[in-house]
Chains A and B, each alone.
Chain A
Amino acid sequence: MVSKKSRHRDPLVIRTPEGLYCPKAKAHIDPWRPVDCALITHAHADHARAGSKDYHCALGGEGLLKQRLGDQQITTHAYGESFIRGGVRISFHPAGHVLGSAQIRLDDGDSVWVITGDYKRDTDPTCQAFEPVTCDVLITEATFALPIYRWPSMDQTMDQLFAWWDHHVRHRRTPVLLCYSLGKAQRMMAEIQRRSDRSVKVHGAVATLNRVYEKQGINLCPWERTSETNKGISSDLVIAPPQVAGSSFLKRFQPTELAMASGWMQVRGVRRRASIHQGFVVSDHADWNGLIQTVQDSQATQVYATHGETRVLTRYLNEHLDIAADRLETAFGIEEGIDQ
């Protein structure tokens, strides 16, 4: 098929030691080393690293980026609005991953490339919903590219969460929910707020990011930052990053009951290996159907998979959906291994 014109030209995006790079626009996308111009999909540590000269991100992402990287030269762009650099039209589009997360669209007139960053297709009260963007070449994540990853509905998960919470409060144990401090924690709190008048206690790492969310008008449930003096069993849910498991932080609430909210909790063995008693399957990444749906929505004729189950996704696209797909090694996803 000769129509796949993009494959016969110089690619619009290449991989350099610094990360994904658009030579025409002289801009890197989520670079893992300092560069002149960094287009950032979202503020998670494996996508947003300090040290570059100029940063560009979606309008809603600036607060988190500043929180993570300190004071930087940041230019923000409203979703869908484009700017031109080196003859390349660049725009940010909602990715539905966390507050202000974006897919990045690059268009040089000959071909359109989209880099998804991390994304999900499910609704999330803390960020704008994913919008499909058509393109010639799609560079997608593949964190959960296996059919075993199918996310249950949030209604069901929250019912489970409330039942678990109440159960342990009744048995005089502090319910502790481990989840990423950026994104997942706020999503859980917003879901709690939508369904109840419950309040939570949060770890310092979560509190800092909560303020950024609230400043941007995201409605979280009532929360209070935990403190050294605040000891004893809590009937409020305690929300903390996974790193606190086994640390002295949890001691002040003893006895505690640990749960984790993560897509990895789909597999019982993974949950048990992490010594987590209760897992809630909640992910800010697309599940299998979401990934396939996104590839199809994009109408791309060439797909690159950057991190996660890239081998599975590319093989499925090549063999089963007849879409040319290859793997692209990146440094993304390092923070999101099974251990978190």
Chain B
Amino acid sequence: MNFVGLFQALDTSQSTNAKRDALMDFIRHADVLESAIAVEALTGRLEKKRLKPSLLKYTANQAFVETPWLFDECYATVGDLSETLAILFANPQAKPQTNDPILKQWVDRQTMLAGLKPEVLADALLAQLQEFSKDEAFLFLKLSSGGFRVGVSKGLVHEAIARAIDMDRAVIEERLMGPFVADRDWLQRLQEPVTQNEMDARPLPFLLANPITDEEITALKPQDTLIEYKWDGIRAQLIKTDQTIRLWSRGDQDITEQFPDIVDSAVTLPSPIILDGEILAGTPGQLQSFNQLQTRLNRKRITQTLLKTHPAFFKAYDLLRFQGADMRDQPLVARQAVLKTIAIQQSPVLAPERAEEIAAMREAARDIGAEGVMIKDRQSTYGSGRKAGYWWKWKLDPMTADCVLIYAQAGHGRRANLHSDYTLACWNDQDELVPVAKAYSGLTDVELKAMDQWIRKHTLQKFGPVRQVEPLQVFEIGFEGIATSTRHKSGIALRFPRILRWRQDVGPKDADGLTHFHALMTSNHAL
């Protein structure tokens, strides 16, 4: 079986188990280089965007040079650029080749194509697509343009690998952390003993918190827990060996280069050490909003000026390895005791006696710029993944506002051709509706479908795939924070906006005004 065969099996599988079995089968029997690149692709490690979406669009426009609008209509209906090109340009009569390995050849061809001038590339790519069946063309383009999702989680891939070579999943996950080399020895390497140095240098699987339920809050014994603020930053591990200092994000990215200031301040730390914590914007005395971190992540070069305008620091809250020893099997209290001896910015930890203390910390969170409280079992070891009964997060209630739907756009993937992406607006002081948020989810399938029908019937104007609709529908949105913004007409930017409910009970005149947001901004010390 090759990657095309695997994709077909995954794409038509009913259950997670069937998907896992298909993956196992593939890892056991496929060419080992094919499986290496496949694992790279399925776990999001493949080099992104060898063929940028803009190049794919350019190619399509070359083919639709007289009717570019017709391509836009197709794209809006399909909801996925790679799939649109695959449907339009692959050979509908071709049969996909699902056995012999193809990925190495594909990756090489993509690299070759990426080196061409756009005009030449368009012709070469079109010729290439015409040799493919639809599935092959789709996968070829998906692999080359980054964003590759086939309903298979990273965890499932790890589990399938572990089962295929009969090893413990936790060990596999640990060994797959850090850079992945897709070569013929990848499976071999996973099964080799690991050296001490490797262990000190390799990022470890993160332990994740579960949202706490009302029942769990009531059942909780406060004396069994340690609590601390839940910070709104980038979860990361700070890994220092005798030679290097690295920052590794929860999204499995090496983000060291974006934060030279944190690396500088870590020079004085003892080594080897692996700390778990949060990268935060601002300084310990004065936190800044999460948006500031986004700027750091997005810049190619981190200049001195940027370091001054957008400072960042690392707040540690757990200790995973220290001086060659794995600390993860020790209970939280023991890890905390060692962590306290290390000179680094830390999250204050409280040992509550009563439930009120937990609630009080949560109440205080907004004032200090945190997003809630973390509750951790005192005796818990540091597991991997979203383990139940280890860590809980109890977030602040979101801020809310009632907004009017003004634009709608068809979604992607499962929501292709369904108008599910909303632009919502509130009133400014001239009684005009100004957009404040784009929100994608939060409605039930039934509501989405009903709204889709409504949107199609109440479209005032179409701008490509975007429909301007009659400003009649009101939605309550929730969000985690507000920041001032020069990029938005409204002058504000919301953090994590999502639709909480469809307010069919109120009309557009009842929607909130900008003043509501300004009031929230001052009263909540929102960052």
Contact = CB atoms under 8 A, between A and B. Distances in A.
A268 B82 CA distance: 11
Interface stretch (A19-27, A70-78, A109-117, A146-154): A146-154
A316 B74 CA distance: 13
Interface in B6-50: 11-14
B11, B412, B449, most chain A CB atoms within 10 A: B11
Nearest to B9: A167
Contacts of B416: 267-270, 273
Given A148-B87, A156-B95, A277-B12, A267 B417 contact: yes
A266 B84 CA distance: 10
B87 A273 contact: no
Given A147-B74, A152-B93, A269 B13 contact: no
Contact of B92 (A146, A151, A338): A151
A278 B73 contact: no
B14 A266 contact: no
B282 interface: no
Interface stretch (B62-70, B253-261, B338-346, B511-519): B62-70
Contacts of A316: 67, 70
A338 B78 CA distance: 13
Nearest to B134: A152
Contacts of B413: 268-269, 272
A319 interface: yes
B154 to A, nearest CB: 20
A147 B92 contact: no
A136 interface: no
B221 interface: no
Contacts of B69: 315
A338 B77 CA distance: 12
B88 interface: yes
Contacts of B418: 273
Contacts of B318: none
Interface string A263-298: 000111110110001100000000000000000000
A269 B67 contact: no
B79 interface: yes
Contact of A277 (B14, B70, B87): B14
B415 A273 contact: yes
Given A148-B84, A269-B79, A273-B415, A153 B93 contact: yes
Interface residues on A, range: 20 to 34
B507 to A, nearest CB: 29
A270 B417 contact: yes
B70 A147 contact: yes
A269 B412 contact: yes
Contacts, number: 72
Contacts of A272: 413-414
B278 interface: no
B415 A268 contact: no
Interface in B364-423: 412-418
Contacts of A267: 77-79, 83, 87, 416-417
Interface in A288-338: 309, 312, 315-316, 319-320, 338
A203 to B, nearest CB: 21
A192 to B, nearest CB: 20
A265 to B, nearest CB: 11
Nearest to A145: B73
Contact of A320 (B66, B84, B93): B66
A30 interface: no
Contacts of A277: 12-14
Nearest to A287: B92
A273 B70 CA distance: 24
A269 to B, nearest CB: 3
A146 B73 contact: yes
A156 B87 CA distance: 16
A147 B67 CA distance: 11
A107 interface: no
Nearest to B73: A312
A124 interface: no
Contact of B88 (A148, A159, A164, A273): A148
A278 B496 CA distance: 35
B407 to A, nearest CB: 19
B80 interface: yes
Contacts of A164: 12
Interface string B171-201: 0000000000000000000000000000000
B92 A150 contact: yes
A148 B14 contact: no
B95 A148 contact: no
B69, B79, B83, B92, most chain A CB atoms within 10 A: B92
B80 A268 contact: yes
Contacts of B14: 257, 277
A148 to B, nearest CB: 5
A278 B12 contact: yes
Interface in A220-278: 257, 266-270, 272-273, 277-278
B306 to A, nearest CB: 39
Nearest to A159: B95
B417 A268 contact: no
B78 A148 contact: yes
Nearest to B138: A268
A234 B282 CA distance: 65
B78 A273 contact: no
A266 B87 contact: yes
Nearest to A339: B449
A158 B324 CA distance: 61
B12, B67, B413, most chain A CB atoms within 10 A: B12
Interface string B121-164: 00000000000000000100000000000000000000000000
Contacts of B412: 269
Nearest to B453: A337
Interface string B69-110: 110011001111001100110001101000000000000000
Contact of A269 (B66, B92, B93, B417): B417
Contacts of A150: 87, 92
Nearest to A173: B14
A148 B93 contact: no
A164 B8 CA distance: 11
9 contacts: A146-B74, A148-B74, A148-B77, A156-B95, A267-B416, A269-B412, A270-B416, A272-B413, A309-B73
Interface of A: 146-148, 150-153, 156, 159, 164, 257, 266-270, 272-273, 277-278, 309, 312, 315-316, 319-320, 338-339
9 closest residue pairs by CB, A with B: A269-B416, A148-B87, A277-B12, A152-B92, A148-B74, A278-B12, A272-B414, A273-B414, A269-B79
Interface of B: 11-14, 66-67, 69-70, 73-74, 77-80, 83-84, 87-88, 92-93, 95, 138, 412-418, 449
Given A268-B83, A309-B73, 7 more contacts: A146-B73, A152-B92, A164-B12, A267-B416, A267-B417, A269-B79, A273-B416
